Structure formats: C-alpha cells, structure tokens
Structure 1
C-alpha cells in the first residue's frame, strides 16, 4: 500500500516558519493568519507524532528533529522551484501556433511577423488562417485572433484595437466623373460589402443618410477581398481602419469623408487561461500589444 505524504499546506507552513523562525513572518509570506500557520504546524506535529518547534521566552526554536526535517525539506522545495523555473523557461521557446482570420493575417500580422522572429529567434511562429465560429479554440493552437464583442466563455480574451468604419475607394475612382463631395453622392457608386449588407445599412442609418440602395453591389466573404476590389476601382468599401492601413499608407485607397463610426466589434487576442502564463505566449502577447501601441500613436 502506498505511503501517505503529509499535507502540502502543513509542509509549506513548516518550511516558512522554520526558515524565518517566526509564525508571524511565515503567515505574512503565505498570506494567511498566524493562527492558520500555528494550526498547520500542530497538524504536522500530530501527523509525525513529534515536536518540531520549541517556544522559549517568546523565541521560536527548532527541535533537533525539526532542524533535520527542515534541512531536507529546504532542498526539496528548492528542487520544486527549480523544476517550475525550468518548465516556464522551456515554455518561452519552441513553436507557437497562431490561428487568425485570413484578412487579419494578410493585412496586419504577416507584414509584421518578421519583427517578432528577429526579436525572438528561439520561438518558431506558425500562422494558421482559419475562420472561427463562436470563439472555437482547439488544443493545437496556442494563440488565436477572434473578431467579435469579446464575449467568449472559457478563454482569456484581450482586445487589440479600437476600430472605425469609414468609406474608402481608389484615388482613380475620384477622377472618373462621379463626385464624392458628400455622403449622399454614395448613391451614384457601387457599394462593396463584407460578408453581408448589414454594415453599410448600419453606417448609413447612423449618419442619417437616406435614399441609398444598400442591396446593390457584390458581397465578399473576407475583408481583404473587399479592400482589394476597392483598390482596383470596382466600388466603395466600408473599410476597417485597422485592416486597411497598408492600402491607405501606400495610397492605393483614400478616405473621401471625415465621418467614421466606431465598430462595436474588434479583434481580440485569445488563449486558454491555463496557458496564459507560458513564456512563449506571454512574449507573443507583449509583442502584439507593443505593435498595437505603435499603431495608435
């Protein structure tokens, strides 16, 4: 029959009290009361059927048995700490698999990932383009990028950008005889839609623009396709300022109006809460946040 080990909480209390020779200091270290430490020590002494401490004139001393036991436990606790440090250090290296919607991957992550790799050569990044359904996170994925309102259960979700929606088009489209002086001029142009026509409908209602048929124009399954169509002069996209940044900076797209509507949805960096302290995930998260800060500046 397997031998029972003493309760771990009692061992922790004894090791701390023996190291400090003080129940009060041990209690402070363990974030418990002095009475709780005293109770744990008493339980351990009863378990072992021997005294571990002597109390002399308000001074706490170890018995001979207590001193020998402490010296052995000290090495065991050090070995536990070393094993934990080794595991966490290992977690900061190796491979990290990042799953992301295709548009976020191509428009935002892929152009920057070489920076992460140069700063962290010990971490091999693997990017997987996936369309998610209701925050689905599989075991083979370390970090995922979700798009939504951040209301997913069972995951740690950190918002990346605040995003704004505004009409965008190719600069050549402005030179083709159909003006875009105000929002009502949109009725003379083809509207390009991302996944559904609901976004254009919401945007126009917010700015009280009537008389525009949102049921015309092609619908694309991914944001990057909408932006590409707009850059080719095929119509007006209701662009996401985060994803459209490469096209805007390169001059392939322009923003004809000042009106912007903050999106109720955003991109979130997501991981399993049990893995969020792994070194490689922490490193990637900090890098992502630094990139977002640079964008916002």
Structure 2
C-alpha cells in the first residue's frame, strides 16, 4: 500500500475486515473477496488461486522429521477461522484426524506467526506466506497432493458495475495488477 499512497496521495483508502461484499453496499468502490466463485452482481477479476500449503518453522520440521502428510499425526494443526478450507477437510480420509490437537487463529498472519514460533503446522496460502518463506521463518515441509484438496476458493477483485470506469477505481486496479505482476501473479478477467 505504501507505493499506492506515494503515487496517489489524493485518494483515501478505507479497509473493511470482511470476507465478501454484499451487492447492496453503496459506499464501496472496490473489494478484494475470498470466495468460491465470482459474484455476478460485480465486475470481477480473479486475483489469486488459493494455493494452500502446509507451513512450519524449519526447526519444527527438523525436530518432528515432518516430510509427508502422514507426519502430521499427533502434531498441533494450526487453522485460520476465516479459511474456507481446513486441515479437517484435507485430512478427512485419515482416521487419526479426530484425535489431533488444533490451534485456531483469527487471521492467517497469526497462524503463520504461531507456526514460525514452533507451535504447530499452519495451513495457509503460499502467496500470503511468501515474505515469511523468503525470510526463512517458515518452510513448506511437503506438498499436499491435489487428490486430498477439496474445492478451493479464490481471491477476487470485485467492482460495482457503475464504478468500474471511475478514475480512482481504475487507478487502484492498475496499481494492484502492477504489484501482483511484479510478484509473478497475473490477474484474469471473470
């Protein structure tokens, strides 16, 4: 956001803490939503797939010799309350999941911090964890097989149709797409 504020100091930004935008909301210019499909009431662009991965501190992985999904047995699984998929849905075919210890956090960042502190194995989006992965605070101990993944939501940029041509909206969309592209993410029209 710092680069947006520097480039566009004339615009105010109001961030709301919700997962989805309701169609009747009038005061919103743009929303970034986490949902299973695009909302037909808005002009939408898919920003990111929800590429979920297991995340743990390198020390935790070494201590528990965690190299595959079976290695999670008996370890604390860290989940985010707002995540639409969970360890329980991924591990549904493993009978031991019912006996697992869980730690539930409100936000992904809190789950990542808990994992970095060695409290367990978090489930999170690879892009959202990229900074902590790059810094070596977290690692991905194993890949989750696609056959174990339930349907995954996506992150969407949603714009009320009557606002999509507004200059401030176009400016923010261009900035966001440029930022994502610099991170190797291409947005798709929905």
TM over 0.5: yes
- Which residue in 2 is equivalent to 1:259? 144
Match of 1:187 in 2: 73
| DSSP-derived class of the 1:161 partner | strand
SS in 2 for 1:124: coil
**Cα distance, 1:214 vs. partner?**
6.6
Listed one character per residue, the Cα deviations across residues 42-72 of structure 1 (whole Å, up to 9, x for unaligned) are xxxxxxxxxxxxxxxxxxxxxxxxxxxxxxx
> Secondary structure of 2:48's partner?
coil
- Give the CA deviation at 1:204: 2.8
Q: Answer 1 or 2: which has greater helix percent.
A: 1
C-alpha deviation, 1:229, in angstroms: 1.1
The answer as to whether partners of 1:135 and 1:152 remain within 8 angstroms in 2 is: no
Change (3 A) 1:215 1:209: closer
| Residue matched to 1:199 | 86
Query: Secondary structure of the equivalent of 2:67?
Result: coil
Give unpaired runs (5+ residues) of structure 1: 1-112
Q: Which has the larger radius of gyration?
A: 1
**In structure 2, what is the Cα distance between the partners aligned to 1:143 and 1:136?**
12
* Pair 182,264 (structure 1): closer, same or farther in 2 beyond 3 Å: closer
Distance 1:220 1:214, change over 3 A: farther
1:220 to 2:108 alignment: no
Structure 2, unmatched stretches of 5+, are: 186-190
Q: Quick check: 1:172 aligned with 2:59?
A: yes
Shift of 1:198: 5.1
Aligned to 2:179: 291
So what's the TM-score if we normalise by structure 1? 0.54
Aligned length: 180
Partners of 2:84 and 2:127 in 1: CA distance? 20
Deviation at 1:217, TM superposition (A): 0.9
Q: TM-score, normalised by structure 2?
A: 0.81
**Cα gap change, 1:116/1:214 in structure 2, threshold over 3 Å: closer, same or farther?**
farther
Alignment of 1:115-134 (within 5 A): 115-121=3-9, 123-132=10-19, 134=20
**Cα distance, 1:136 vs. partner?**
1.9
CA apart distance, 1:282: 0.7
